[in-house]
Amino acid sequence: MNSDNPILLVEDDRVDAMTVKRALKDIHVMNRLDITSNGEEALDYLSRCEGSMPCIVLLDLNMPKMNGIEFLKIIKQNDEFKLIPVVILTTSKEEQDKIESFKLSVAGYMIKPVDYKKFVETVRTIDLYWTLSELPN
């Protein structure tokens, strides 16, 4: 990633969270990875960030308490959070989930590959894009 700010992963599955952590380590991403397990926890996390907002949010959709779409609806209406890039990282191939996500201004929608090597390539692609992308301050 192109900043020192943390990456926020919103993921309720511990195995998937550990896979993301491992993939980031394998491709030498040095940003701290902060993990929350649902939208409510992610909102609480963001509300406690002072000056060091995440450089990107990797967001699962299917979670308890508050799912990814509900989380997106809230943060994209908040001036403090709406410019944080959000990439959906999910198992959902549902067209309605894709449509709803892009209506809420996500930066990308990625399906989690089952194969670890393909998963690493997906994370590498996200990293490469955000390393090259110019973001507002």
pLDDT in tens, 38-74: 999 999 999 998 778 899 999 999 999 999 999 999 9
Cα dist from 133 to 56, 85, 113, 136, 137, whole Å: 12, 11, 24, 10, 12
Query: What is the domain-level CATH number for residue 26?
Result: 3.40.50.2300
Does residue 14 lie in a domain region? yes
Does residue 115 lie in a domain region? yes
Instruction: Looking at 49-115, list the stretches that DSSP marks H as alpha helix, in order from N- to C-terminal side.
Output: 68-75, 95-103
What CA–CA distance (Å, rounded) separates 126 from 56? 10
Does residue 105 lie in a domain region? yes
- The per-residue pLDDT for 4 is 82
Does residue 2 lie in a domain region? no
- The per-residue pLDDT for 36 is 97
- The per-residue pLDDT for 137 is 65
SS3 58: strand
pLDDT in tens, 76-109: 999 989 999 999 999 999 999 999 999 999 999 9
DSSP 6: P
Does residue 135 lie in a domain region? no
- The per-residue pLDDT for 2 is 60
Q: Structural domain tally of the chain?
A: 1
Does residue 111 lie in a domain region? yes
pTM more than 0.85? yes
Task: Give CA torsion, residues 28, 32, 34, 35, to 10 deg.
Answer: 20
Does residue 77 lie in a domain region? yes
Instruction: Look up the domain containing 33 and give its range.
Output: 7-122
DSSP 31: S
Does residue 90 lie in a domain region? yes
